Amino acid sequence: MTRNFFFKNMKRIEDFTVIQHHWLNENTFLIELKSSGQLPVILPGNFAQIQINNTPGVFLRRPFSIYNADYKNNTLTFYIKIVGKGSRELGLLKPGDITSIIYPLGNTFSLPDKDKVLIVGGGFGIAPFLLLGKSFREHQKKTTFLIGGRSKQDIMLASTFKKYGDVLITTEDGSLGEKGLVTDHSVFNNNNFGYDMIYTCGPDPMMKAVANIARNKNIPCEASLENMMACGFGACLCCVVETTSGNKCVCTEGPVFNINDLAW
């Protein structure tokens, strides 16, 4: 595995202008915001700390993966699920509203040595995988996305991901794709599993289950973590995860970790 660091980007704090929302269901949306300058290179896995304005009870910024970066129009898009006050407020912003964003933060995924990769995402955990899928296409990797949700309404953007690879789906109620959790999908039962590397992001129990499968199959696996953060750039040490070499900051030494480095 080789880390595909192109170069280390400077972190920046910048005012962005809301361009538009695209609602995927009543509590999930894409929000596109425009930079006043030139976007730096965004690596797959990078995230941003978005300021939430005028919302009583919200004090800190909120971290969100960068879902897409449009270098022609200098816009960033985030894929956001409403879970509380901050995410709700981002859904209520109007075109032309301005908010401050600190970015690009965090590390990136490794480029696999071999060709066939499986990307497993649950809930908003698919957010970092559009940029990863794009990067893999540039590197001529063969990508399969496995997307899981509770039911049909939770499976969004499958058609977008299809442009960059095959898409497999599981739902817990069986309303779309195979019935069950992502880790129940038949792709894992296959004796000639055939994937050279697995990438995962989503709720912790899901990622741990995927990591277990990867360990059993002896396949390298990277997980993108979503620990609670105060700063997002290494100043507070609040976001740590236990690794085989002590506590590490998810915001600067992650969010992407090789599962073998985690004390899971």
Ligand X SMILES: Cc1cc2nc3c(=O)[nH]c(=O)nc-3n(C[C@H](O)[C@H](O)[C@H](O)COP(=O)(O)O)c2cc1C
By CB under 6 A, name the binding residues for ligand FES: 229-232, 234-239, 249, 251
Taking the C-alpha atoms of residue 102 and residue 218, their distance in angstroms, rounded to an integer, is: 37
Smallest separation (angstroms) from other proteins to the CB of 5: 16
What does the angle CA 200 – CA 191 – CA 212 come to, to the nearest 5 degrees?
A: 35
Q: Residue 108 interacts with ligand FAD (CB under 6 A)?
A: no
Determine the Cα–Cα distance for residues 102 and 161; give it in Å rounded to an integer: 27
Q: Which of residues 144-163 bind ligand FAD (CB under 6 A)?
A: none
Q: Looking only at residues 24 through 53 of this chain, which bind other proteins when binding is defined by CB under 8 A? A: 51
CA–CA dist 255, 212 (Å, integer) = 19
Q: Is 47 in the site for ligand FAD (CB under 6 A)?
A: yes
* CA of residue 10 relative to chain centroid, distance: 21
> SS in 3 state form for 56-72?
CCCCCCEEEECCEEECC
Stretch of 122-130, 170-178, 192-200, 222-230 contacting other proteins, by CB under 8 A? 222-230
61 binds ligand FAD (CB under 6 A): no
User: Which of 92, 237 has the CB closer to ligand FES?
Assistant: 237
Q: Is 248 in the site for ligand FAD (CB under 6 A)?
A: no
Residues that bind ligand FAD (CB under 6 A): 47, 58, 62-65, 79-81, 83-87, 124, 127, 226-229, 255
